[in-house]
Amino acid sequence: MDRGKSEEFFDVVDEEDQVIDQVARSEVHRRKLRHRAVHVFLFRPDACLLIHKRSDTKEEFPSVWTSSCSGHVSAGEDYDATAVRELCEELGVDSAVQRLQKFTACDDTSQEFTVLYGCSSDAVVTPDPEEIAAVQWLPVTRIQDWMTRSPHDFSPAFCLLFRWFMQNLRTPESR
């Protein structure tokens, strides 16, 4: 397999999330093949969640709001390492993360098996301008109200993950 220098490769997985091939990013997306991704919800100690507006140059869902950070799992990489890497690359935050839930690949996740992580940090974030157009720290109740009023302001994956979070892990302080 010829791996060009510029294109990233992903593990293509079956319905059980078992690796069956390694394929170039463009092919994975063009053919809508199952692959892997992570999302991280970064909280401040005051319980506000960081959300970011995707750059208008993003291939999928440009200019919509989504998780604090997210990214594809590269070929041969695991979910946990990807979450830490994405947090550092996209936000400049070096923090431990906690695995919260794994979601099956579906249309809302763009055929990505997705693992959601959470972490808390008071570090200053330095968003990657190629990935992130804007950031906001908001209480989860404000995000929930906004999502109810204008669901298309958010990526489908974030809507799925955030709704799960609100139903399953919402802390007493955020109620």
Q: Over 52-102, what HEC string results?
A: EEECCCCCCCCCCEECCEEEECECCCCHHHHHHHHHHHHHCCCCCCEEEEE
- Write the class of the CATH domain 9-169: alpha beta
Q: What is the pTM of this model?
A: 0.91
Q: Domain ranges in the chain?
A: 9-169
Per-residue pLDDT of the chain (175 residues; tens, 9 = 90+): 444 457 899 999 999 999 999 999 999 989 999 999 999 999 999 999 999 999 887 777 778 999 999 999 999 999 999 999 999 999 999 999 999 999 999 999 999 999 999 999 999 999 999 889 999 999 999 999 999 999 999 999 999 999 999 999 765 444 3
